[in-house]
Amino acid sequence: MAHVVVVTGAASGIGAAVARHFGGLGAHVVVADVDEAGGTAVAREVDGLFVRTDTTREADNLALIAAAVAAYGGLDVVHLNAGIGDGGGFGEDDYDRARQHRVLAVNLHGVMYGLHAALPALAAHGGGSLLVTSSMAGVGAAPFDPVYAATKYGVIGLVRSLAPAWQDKGVRINAVCPGIVRTPILRPEAVEYITAQGLALAEPAEIAASVAGITAGEETGRAYVLQAGRSPEPVAFPKLELARADG
């Protein structure tokens, strides 16, 4: 039986590549995005279903998962990939409350709504894999966009904290942390600058192949760095142990 795969932010970039990859494997793919034209085109390409989804709205997340289950009978893989950047900074010239709230709404609250909608449905179908797109900014530093970095750290915390509770229900929860990827979010001048520095850009299709491999594995509660030409690299987090008082 073909797997059922839901991908948010799937009208372009990494999300579109993930949809195409799973479509090429014969999966039933549900493409979710606010971009109706782009999302419809990708869904048509993979012979899947497009559901217009504003991930900042809890009702849209619930409707997305309900539509996938109604169309295909259940869920096997959910990739919460939708995200944006440019949250500004904290100086006099770049502080913008509205921009900050928008980045938080999409990158953090949107993931929370997606988790709330998808996890019970995955468990009800006998288990499956849920993947969240974080970023290398979520395990390092991003001076150019600290608000974006905060949200990407946040989703890794969600993944690591939720994974143990859902493991017994057969649901694996992991995060991917892509590096520099050739997507529409990068302006042409940014691509020129990056390549001039001798840095490699990963192609979305390369990231998608890694995503598929991670969802097929048995690990849970992990975050994987994805860079051009490299296999997924699990992030090593410190093991925390409670200190005991003497005596």
Q: Where are the domains of the chain?
A: 4-233
Active-site pick, 148, 153, 193, 224? 148
* Strand ranges in the chain using DSSP code E only, listed in sequence order: 4-8, 28-33, 49-52, 77-80, 128-133, 171-178, 223-226, 233-234
Ranges under pLDDT 70 in the chain: 185-187, 189-191, 193-194, 243, 245-247
pTM score above 0.85: yes
Report the C-alpha gap between 51 and 69 in whole angstroms.
12
pLDDT of the residue at 241: 76
Asked if 113 is an active-site residue, the reply is: no
Report the C-alpha gap between 86 and 144 in whole angstroms.
8
pLDDT of the residue at 114: 98
Report the C-alpha gap between 235 and 139 in whole angstroms.
8
Q: Report the CATH superfamily, name and number, of domain 4-233.
A: NAD(P)-binding Rossmann-like Domain (3.40.50.720)
pLDDT of the residue at 142: 83
pLDDT of the residue at 240: 77
Report the C-alpha gap between 125 and 101 in whole angstroms.
34
pLDDT of the residue at 243: 67
Both tokens of 84, joined, read 């944006």
Do the beta carbons of residue 4 and residue 64 sit within 8 Å? no
Backbone phi and psi for residue 180, each to the nearest 5 degrees, phi listed first:
-85, 120
Distance of CA 123 to the CA centre of its chain: 19
Q: Which residues pair with 234 in a beta bridge?
A: 224
**Cα-Cα-Cα-Cα dihedral sign, residues 56, 115, 209, 151:** positive
